[in-house]
Structure 1
Amino acid sequence: MSQKTEIPEHTVSVNTEFGIKSALHVPAFSERSEYVPALDEAYRFDPEVTLSLLAGFAHNRRVLIQGRHGTGKSTHIEQVAARLNWPCIRVNLDGHISRLDLVGKDTITIQDGLQVTRFQEGVIPWAMQRPMALILDEYDAGRPDVMFVIQQILEQDGRFTLLDQNRVLHPHPYFRIFATTNTLGLGDQTGLYRGTHSLNHAQLDRWNIVSTLNYLPAAQEEAIVLGRVPSKNTEQGKHDIQAMVALANLTRQAFSVGDLSTLMSPRTVITWAENCTLFHDKRRAFVVSFFNKCDESEQNLVKELYQRCFNEELVPSDATA
């Protein structure tokens, strides 16, 4: 990374850049690097979550975003970074991520025909020495040994000790850290997020800002789907998308009262709309996008919800697609 991008060179207006009524100005970089996410012009920002993230970027606050799957938590962080030209890197804390992946390990390389042992930095020491936003995805799915490594950098000074190297790393002034989680570290009572864990409350306490990203109002969700699937931007297409979002909201309501064990996320609605352009049949696209994921005992209820929104039934040939 070139020297001129080590610090933000200017500020951007929150009101102008994000369409949120605020007098705040946030530091931003003038040039884009390979680590800056691609800009999505159709993305719609949630005002409260956006302000929380901007506080993290501007004032070095540790920000944790909680919400159901498909609400766009990670994408929200990336799109804020994209408009600030702020480099960022995402790490998914699945069961395969180990302490060595985060901290680093000794590796053997060949130099001048000889085997040489060198320490290869993990993602944490690499990122924290740069003006970089580190995004920890699926934070509540991390293994205990991994979580205690992360706890070091959640301290206010953020110093990180490399025991194997007898080194103490100090974070770059514009290193930032964010995380996304489905359950807020209290465990999963619904069965929807298997593999998640209860988090150490001492660690949760180290997050300065915790914000919740809920599903968007229907009109905004419809606009997002239209933005992602422009071929649906016709009178009939808009009518279909309105019904799709209405059906998605009914599945979410049924899930909240225990009538369904799964729900349609905004991501599912976008996938359904995209599959409509492939199959040229919204019923068949619905079956392969969502219906086949439902428990067999709940499929009759899903059929009823579909009929309520589209005023047509799923026929047996559709349901066996």
Structure 2
Amino acid sequence: MSDACPDHAVAVRDVFGIDSDLVVPAFGERDEHVPEIDEAYRFDPDVTLALLAGFARNRRVLVQGLHGTGKSTHIEQVAARLNWPCVRVNLDGHLSRLDLVGRDAVVLRDGQQVTEFQEGILPWALQRPVALIFDEYDAGRPDVMFVIQRILERDGKLTLLDQHRVLRPHPYFRLFATANTVGLGNVNGLYHGSQRLNHAQIDRWNIVASLNYLAPEEEAAIVLARVPELAGKRGSELIAAMVRVAELTRNGFRAGDLSTLMSPRTVISWAENVGVFGDVAVAFRLSFLNKCDEAERQTVAEYFQRCFGRELAESYQQAVPA
């Protein structure tokens, strides 16, 4: 795969249904690192064009948005339609600089134990036509972030000090990242573990795209595609009401009435749990309501009542005084 190059081009208008004349390089054959195509996925036009610019023009693209908007999946689904190999790395607090760059390890050669340098994911990907995605970019440790900062430069070279080597990126290596904040840290209490990022590093990203929740009809279509057993008029009405509840929680979050909001991922879980428990209220409680602060459950229960015309026990509970 290290010598592979895109061998044809695809028209964005034909493949993604976006009104653009952009033509993007693509691979003719898939390999094991190419994500599977999700036919139900809905593309945000602006974010898709930003990602396609990353693939076509080697732009470093950072996708920012609230949880559950499908940031990483969006990148993967663009890569899947280009047959572009793609690898995701989660920058959790346990990922170290050695994990990223590589380390010396004892291996067995001809019956003898020898010390040998084992490449980390970064030098491995840098030398191949791979789209590398850093998930939870704003949760990375400082020592890890400064390694990444070097490859965000225009030339993107990586120096392996222990090996006395300088790695030049493959012409079709691409770099993406996803974040819940744009380096601002845990300002609203939703994203514990998020770090404030060095502004010089944020400045090195060529494109910063913002991915918001889909329009209600688009979100309902995705839920229905994920839970096909709800197909039909009654199921469509049920899903539409679920999405309305989710919209109310998001509006409540923006207004400061709630500290928790319902993501599309949670709506899908709710719809799936309706099939498990056979009751939309029970499924709602187990999928979302129990995650909420006790002082806010009455408000959330009122959202449910407004959309479904059914009372929950939480509707009658008094909010706990602060």
- Fold match, TM over 0.5? yes
**1:24-39 superposed matches below 5 A:** 24-39=22-37
Matched with 1:22 is 20
Question: Is 1:120–2:118 an aligned residue pair?
Answer: yes
Amino acid of the structure 2 residue aligned with 1:85: N
Amino acid of the structure 1 residue aligned with 2:138: D
5+ unaligned residues in a row in structure 2: which ranges?
A: 318-322
Partner deviation per Cα, 1:77-131 (whole Å, 9 max, x = no partner) = 0000000000010000000100000000000011122111000000000001000
- Following the alignment from structure 1 to structure 2, what is the Cα–Cα distance between the partners of residues 55 and 179? 14
Question: Is 1:44–2:48 an aligned residue pair?
Answer: no
Matched with 2:106 is 108
5+ unaligned residues in a row in structure 1: which ranges?
A: none
Partner deviation per Cα, 1:11-53 (whole Å, 9 max, x = no partner) = 0010010010111110000000000001000000000000000
Other structure's SS at 2:171 match = coil
- Following the alignment from structure 2 to structure 1, what is the Cα–Cα distance between the partners of residues 257 and 307? 18
- Following the alignment from structure 1 to structure 2, what is the Cα–Cα distance between the partners of residues 110 and 189? 49
Question: Is 1:142–2:140 an aligned residue pair?
Answer: yes
Pick from 214, 219, 235 the counterpart of residue 221 of structure 1. 219
Amino acid of the structure 1 residue aligned with 2:97: R
Partner deviation per Cα, 1:189-208 (whole Å, 9 max, x = no partner) = 21000100111010001000
Matched with 1:90 is 88
Amino acid of the structure 1 residue aligned with 2:276: L
- Any runs of at least 4 consecutive aligned residues in structure 1 with deviations exceeding 2 A, and if so which? none
Pick from 154, 157, 163 the counterpart of residue 156 of structure 1. 154
Partner deviation per Cα, 1:171-219 (whole Å, 9 max, x = no partner) = 0000000000001001222100010011101000100000100011111
- Following the alignment from structure 1 to structure 2, what is the Cα–Cα distance between the partners of residues 219 and 80? 22
Matched with 2:309 is 311
Matched with 1:284 is 282
Query: For residues 64 and 258 of structure 1, do their structure 2 counterparts lie closer, same or farther at Cα, with a shift above 3 Å needed?
Result: same
Other structure's SS at 1:252 match = helix
Other structure's SS at 2:209 match = strand
Amino acid of the structure 1 residue aligned with 2:77: Q
Other structure's SS at 1:261 match = coil
- Following the alignment from structure 2 to structure 1, what is the Cα–Cα distance between the partners of residues 6 and 110? 40
TM-score by length of 2: 0.96
Contact 2:86–2:131 under 8 Å retained in 1: yes
Partner deviation per Cα, 1:253-308 (whole Å, 9 max, x = no partner) = 11111111100001000111111111111111111100110111111111111000
Other structure's SS at 1:65 match = strand
Question: Is 1:63–2:61 an aligned residue pair?
Answer: yes
Other structure's SS at 2:115 match = strand
- Following the alignment from structure 2 to structure 1, what is the Cα–Cα distance between the partners of residues 16 and 86? 19
Contact 2:2–2:127 under 8 Å retained in 1: no
Other structure's SS at 2:32 match = coil
Instruction: For residue 313 of structure 1, report the CA deviation from its aligned partner.
Output: 1.1
Instruction: For residue 2 of structure 1, report the CA deviation from its aligned partner.
Output: 7.6
Matched with 1:241 is 239
Instruction: For residue 315 of structure 1, report the CA deviation from its aligned partner.
Output: 4.0
Matched with 1:264 is 262
Question: Is 1:211–2:209 an aligned residue pair?
Answer: yes
Contact 2:8–2:25 under 8 Å retained in 1: yes
Question: Is 1:189–2:180 an aligned residue pair?
Answer: no
- Following the alignment from structure 1 to structure 2, what is the Cα–Cα distance between the partners of residues 280 and 2? 51
Question: Is 1:170–2:172 an aligned residue pair?
Answer: no
Partner deviation per Cα, 1:235-263 (whole Å, 9 max, x = no partner) = 11100100000000000011111111100
TM-score by length of 1: 0.97
Matched with 2:320 is none
- Following the alignment from structure 1 to structure 2, what is the Cα–Cα distance between the partners of residues 202 and 2? 31
Query: For residues 54 and 229 of structure 1, do their structure 2 counterparts lie closer, same or farther at Cα, with a shift above 3 Å needed?
Result: same
Matched length: 315
- Following the alignment from structure 2 to structure 1, what is the Cα–Cα distance between the partners of residues 148 and 60? 12
Other structure's SS at 2:296 match = helix
Other structure's SS at 2:311 match = coil
Other structure's SS at 1:71 match = coil
Contact 2:69–2:212 under 8 Å retained in 1: yes
Amino acid of the structure 2 residue aligned with 1:139: Y
Contact 2:245–2:307 under 8 Å retained in 1: yes
- Following the alignment from structure 1 to structure 2, what is the Cα–Cα distance between the partners of residues 55 and 2? 22
- Following the alignment from structure 2 to structure 1, what is the Cα–Cα distance between the partners of residues 14 and 277? 40
